[in-house]
Amino acid sequence: FNEDFCFIMHFVLSPKLKHGEWAYIGVNIGTAMSSVPAATQITTLLRSQNIRHIRLYDADPGMLSALANTGIRVIISVPNEQLLAIGNSNATAAKWVARNVAAHYPSVNITAIAVGSEVLSTLPNAAPLIMPAMRYLQNALVAAALDKYIKISTPHSSSIILDSFPPSQAFFNRSLDPVLVPMLKFLQSTGAPLMLNVYPYYDYMRSNGVIPLDYALFRPLPPNKEAVDANTLLHYTNVFDAVVDAAYFAMAYLNVTNVPVMVTETGWPHKGDASAEPDANNDNADTYNSNLIRHVMNVTGTPKHPGVAVPTFIYELYDEDTRPGTASEKYWGLFDMNGIPAYALHLTGSGVLLANDTTNQTYCVAREGADEKMLQAALDWACGPGKVDCSVLTQGKPCYDPDTVEDHATYAFNAYYHGMGMGSGTCYFSGVAVITTTDPSHGSCVYSGKNGSALLNGTSLAPSSNSTTDSGSWRAAGDVTSFVRIVVTALLLSVVALL
């Protein structure tokens, strides 16, 4: 990673919400690249950025093997070209599940199977195969006793929703009723979500100026600029919410009111043709995705369903340089194919999230729910070999209270993180630390971060002008080794205590 452009992602679950759903952000991983990273490189990137939810466009065995025992929640997919075989044969569907699901679960945390992609809008001739394929796959999951853990759905383009504004008047294309009606009943009976691809960028581009750019980008609007649904008097401040609510109203039109919406694709391109696609740029991509993440993770919900989570997957992890179409089609990624960040996101104040904020407004804190013995071992290391000045954590000093391992560890982790220049890997501590954009300072206890200052004993804030990369690498390797020894010791002691 380019240390001058550190891009640290932290996707975590929010508290459990209505209908048993969780608020989370995931990413899609496409492979239309001239040089596809190795599966182990991809999982290394995911783990280093703490990305906990992904969607694959296939069920590549190498990728699934690399995901084993990572805890990352995975949606796998049946590619469109496999629908014919699976939709015509229960036996083929059973073999597909045996090979791509049962062979990997539970070491690979597969949570759903996406059957095809935008079939109703892009491959209408294959539409009659969707429901047989979904049913056959469901039968195979039931036979393998996996149906309680893995859901089956199919991603739709939002274009199947007609008259999407006002949302209360939205309805699905009636010609699709023979497929959609039984599909919604299937989702209802299995507890699976309606998967929807939502692209405000395209809605904006095709509106010929009718949709304001600010409305597409989640930018704050004055009340007189908000879109109002005259039937419900609900106010809409962004395209995303309007499309999601249009899906809820369209389902209600078919008497389905308890199927949640999952947004399987959304995003904004960071580059395009300068003359034809001027709004495909870094600033807008940053604005859209930063506001989207804040909106989803704050559990804002939609005007129709406030406070109800809308799990959302950003399109996409990598730029795909071999995708056909307009110039922007190649530039939806958060990273290029070498794992270098495409642009910086700004999420200050959003909590433990995608925190690649280059303004130094990031902090390293103890992970909520982390094992206390692991935290204590990490705290001991930070205040010892890590050279953090922990004197402020002693009784009577500003950061003594609250007197908990978690709070003391947070101070020490953050001091070390900033003392090491917020370098890649300096906020990990064997998995018990995470990056946040929310300042953990309290009272007179001020945490490092606002100006990059930190207190380390005998170690400068960052490598001095005459320091070498080699010496820094050696020092970090020694520190990590010491830390690992402390963690292993703590684990051994905990095992002994149990005996």
CA nearest 246: which of 307, 306, 164? 164
DSSP 445-458: BPPTTSSS---BTT
Evaluate whether 260 touches 19 at the Cβ level (below 8 Å): yes
Contact 301, 244 (CB under 8 A): no
Nearest CA to 360 out of 257, 240, 450 is that of 450
Active site residue 226: no
CA distance 252 to 423: 50
The answer to whether 450 and 360 have CB atoms below 8 angstroms apart is yes
d(CA 93, CA 224): 53
Give the active site residue among 3, 21, 226, 265: 265
Classify residue 99 by its DSSP letter.
I
As a dihedral over the C-alpha atoms of residue 350, residue 443, residue 427, residue 293, rounded to 10 degrees, the angle is 0
The active-site residue out of 21, 118, 320, 406 is 118
Q: Which two tokens stand for residue 449?
A: 């971060």
| Tokens of residue 433, six digits | 């630390």
| Active-site residue, 372 included | no
Phi and psi torsions of 303, nearest 5°: -55, -35
Q: Give the tokens for residue 207.
A: 């509106």
Residues with active-site annotation = 118, 265
